[in-house]
């Protein structure tokens, strides 16, 4: 008759991957989840920008992460995203006319103009260096069209 031995031990805990806070975790004591469902102007600028990142650009950035170079990966993914978002944000003047267009039937003239306090990744500085070296048109071509050879990719 065969006997079996069952171990009461559990697998070792896996280290938590490096990541930013989730939308449900507090940052600096403030909840990242808003009580209301309205998007902020910052949400409207930031979220679509990530979705515009070309898959070839993402794959190129991933080659750095695969080699353990998270600095270059973060520069290409978050830094470039923030670079392009900041360039758009600087041109947007939030006034009543824009609010009426964005908020539609929910526009309230008595509500204060929203304050935008964007969180910017420090890697925006490295992204600015990429743009300074490669040129804005080449950075745009790489980021939006996947032409990564314009910034040194293959």
Tally of residues, the chain:
154
Question: What is the pLDDT, as a whole number, of residue 41?
Answer: 60
Nearest to 89, CA basis, from 137, 32, 49: 49
Q: Could you give phi then psi for residue 72, rounded to 5 degrees?
A: -65, -40
pLDDT along the chain (154 residues), means of 10: 48 48 50 52 62 92 97 95 87 84 83 74 94 97 96 93
- Displacement of CA 140 from its chain's centroid (Å): 16
> Cα dist. 82→23, 67, 77, 110, 151 in Å?
18, 23, 9, 31, 17
Q: Does the pTM of the predicted model rise above 0.85?
A: no
Question: What is the pLDDT, as a whole number, of residue 108?
Answer: 85
Q: Where are the domains of the chain?
A: 41-151
């Amino acid at each position: 008759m065969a006997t079996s031995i069952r171990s009461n031990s559990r697998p070792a805990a896996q280290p938590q991957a490096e990541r930013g806070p989730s939308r449900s975790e507090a940052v600096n004591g403030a909840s990242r989840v808003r009580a209301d469902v309205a998007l902020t102007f910052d949400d409207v600028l930031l979220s679509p920008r990530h979705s515009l990142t070309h898959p070839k650009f993402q794959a190129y950035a991933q080659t750095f992460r695969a080699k353990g170079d998270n600095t270059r990966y973060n520069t290409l993914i978050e830094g470039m995203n923030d670079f392009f978002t900041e360039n758009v944000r600087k041109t947007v003047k939030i006034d009543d006319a824009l609010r009426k267009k964005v908020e539609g039937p929910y526009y309230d003239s008595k509500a204060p103009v929203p304050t935008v306090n964007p969180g910017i990744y420090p890697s925006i500085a490295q992204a600015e260096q990429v743009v300074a070296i490669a040129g804005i048109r080449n950075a745009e071509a790489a980021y939006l069209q996947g032409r990564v050879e314009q910034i040194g990719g293959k």
